[in-house]
Structure 1
Amino acid sequence: MEANKSDMPNNPGANRPVFEEERSGNRNKIIIGVLAAALLTAIIFIIFGYKKQGELREEGELTKQELVDASAKLEAISIELDQKIEEIEKLGGDIEELQLAKEEIEKEKENLRKSSNVQISRLRERVRGYETLLKDKDEEIAKLKMVTDSLMSENTALKTQQNEMQEVLTSIEEDKGKLEEQVAFAGRLKAENIKVYSVNKRGKEREGEFKSRQIENLKMQFNIGENNVAPIEGKEILVRVIEPAGNVIFDVATGSGTFMIDGREEFYTIKQDILFDNTKQTLTFLYKKPTEFEPGQYTVEIYTDDYVMGSRNFTVK
């Protein structure tokens, strides 16, 4: 009994070191586990924080550089928009939509100047919208230019045709004018077989040269040549007797007067009103001069409608 008791340990603390070592190991494991969990939590928090920060950056305020870039982009779009408005307006297109967009861009620019509190995603969407609008207007401008070019080509063709027609009409008018002149010239009457006689007091006639004392009356006789172009109508036949000195014998008391020819006023000696009937009718003029005829060569000129029908000279001794 005693021997057995002597074999059992008398010191109860003999096994304490082993137990303490086991407890210490478990505690270390717990601490390591807690630290690992804390580290994992921190990593997850960091990862989540970066992700959240990215989301906030996507939806949050602009950075200084983004503000500068956005302002520059809006300014470039605004300038291009002005160009499109001017170009479309010149082409006759509708600029109302572009003017509204211009107003919106100006508001965006003002907001950027006042505050950077603008959402990135919203701004990007607006910028993309403006860029799409500009592209659409580029297509509209191209179509308007095609229409304008087509209209200009048609207008040029019409002007060319108009010029050609005007040239034809001018040519026709010129030809018509020439034809009228030719007809008018062809329609001129001619005095044929012009004869000048001196008639003395006894009624005896003398042709050719005659003396002044033999001239009681001056007789001028001719017939009007046939002309199928000239119309049958009344005519005023004027006779001018021109003295050797170049003066027209003129006396209002004997029926003399004036008429216009080539824009100037001239005297005539005597006249008759007749009906031209294209029958080669013969006309006779008798003129009694109040004074004697001076010696020399005289000229008889016959007029109607401001042109000369014919002339004849005679001599007084």
Structure 2
Amino acid sequence: MKGKMSPMIILIIVLAVLLLIAVGFGVTQVASLKSEVNEARLQNEELQLQNEQLQLSSEFDMLNAEFQQYEDQAQRLANDTILAKYTAAKAKVEELMKELKSEKVKSQARINELQNEISTLKGLLRHYIAQIDSLNKENAGLRAENQEIKDQNQRLSSQVQEVTRNNETLSERMTLAEKLNVTGVTLTALKKNGKVEKNVTKAKQLMVTFTIPQNNSTPVGEKVIYLRIVNPEGQLLGGAGSFSFEGKSVPCSARKSIEYAGDEIAGIKIYWDVNTTLTPGDYTVELFTDGYRLSSRHFTLKK
């Protein structure tokens, strides 16, 4: 029949339509799948960036902790150059830490930059640590050297003190050797005729006798012997002026000049004329010459 399509043509048309529908559906599915894949990829990249950012933050925390560990040592070193570089590196760490924690880091490129900066800062840290250790060892060596010098100075000071003591002892021995000695010191009350008066209240004179023994170390020449007699009331029986002793002017009771040649001089007598009534009791007799106290003795005179 004219004008009618054959079944074959209709089938072809139907198949073509179905094919178009299938292709359209396939294209739609492919586009949807591609969108889902892209979204999944983006999410994965985001997660990866976040993970790297967390790792980077953790590394910065560890690096900052290492800087803080050596901060006290760096401060103690008081080295301006190392301290300035250390402070700058620490400030950079803190700056990058703030950037990480602000969540502004979104690109892989910036992550890579920060990783490179971490490596640089780690290198600086190792360098500073090496310098700190070197300076610590140097300071330890200086402390040991200073201690050794201090010990040497102390030993030298001890030696000087010992030599000084020995010199002082030697000087003292020489001084004592040169000192004029006296022995056999006595105090006797006398009558007007020079005989012994047993009742001190009636005495007209007091006589002090002594002996100067031989001493080859004592300089020879004229010696002035100064006598001091102190009564029981603690008063000096004066009347013969004064002499110099230990930087002071000391009054005396009497004085006597002798010529000393190094040999023994026995029976030396010095008199004091009584000008007041004496009281019984303990009297002190002192003899001086050449700036030395030769003797200090106590005697009891009775009534």
Cα 1:105–1:240 shift into 2, 3 Å: same
Q: Do the aligned residues in 1 keep the contact of 2:53 with 2:111 (CA within 8 Å)?
A: no
| Alpha carbons of structure 1 residues 134 and 176: separation in structure 2 relative to 1, 3 Å | same
Residue 250 of structure 1 deviates from its aligned partner by 1.1
Letter in 1 for 2:140: D
- Which whole-Å CA distance do the structure 2 matches of 1:299 and 1:86 have between them? 75
Evaluate the alpha carbon distance shift between residue 296 and residue 81 of structure 1 in structure 2; reply closer, same or farther with a 3 A threshold. closer
The residue number in structure 1 matching 2:3 is none
Is the aligned partner of 1:303 residue 2:291?
Answer: no
State the TM-score, normalized to the length of structure 2: 0.64
The residue that corresponds to 2:68 in the other structure is 82
User: Which one of 259, 262, 272 corresponds to residue 287 of structure 1?
Assistant: 272
- Percent of aligned pairs with the same amino acid: 18
2:102 equivalent in structure 1: 114
Question: Residues 308 and 77 from structure 1, CA distance in 2 versus in 1: closer, same or farther, beyond 3 angstroms?
Answer: same
Going from structure 1 to structure 2, the CA distance change for 1:275 and 1:156 (only over 3 Å counts) comes to farther
Question: What TM-score results when the alignment is normalised by the length of structure 1?
Answer: 0.62
Contact 1:198 1:216 in 2 (8 A): yes
Q: 1:125, CA displacement in angstroms?
A: 0.5
| Residues 242, 251 of structure 2: 8 Å contact kept | yes
Within the candidate set 73, 76, 96, 2:84 is matched to: 96
Picking from 130, 136, 140, the partner of 1:149 is: 140
User: 2: CA distance between counterparts of 1:251 and 1:159?
Assistant: 58
* Partner deviation per Cα, 1:67-96 (whole Å, 9 max, x = no partner): 333222212212211332321332344222
How many Å separate the matches in 2 of 1:233 and 1:111? Answer: 102
Query: Are 1:161 and 2:123 an aligned pair?
Result: no
Question: Is the CA contact 1:91–1:144 (under 8 Å) kept in the aligned structure 2?
Answer: yes
Q: 1:287 to 1:102 in 2, by over 3 A?
A: same
Q: Does the 8 Å contact 2:227/2:286 carry over to 1? A: yes
1:250 counterpart (237, 251, 269) = 237
Counterparts of 1:166 and 1:293, CA distance in 2: 58
The gaps in structure 2 that reach 5 residues or longer are 1-15
Larger Rg: 1
What is the CA RMSD across the aligned residues, in angstroms?
5.6
* Residue of structure 2 equivalent to 1:175: 166
Report SS of the residue matched to 1:182. helix
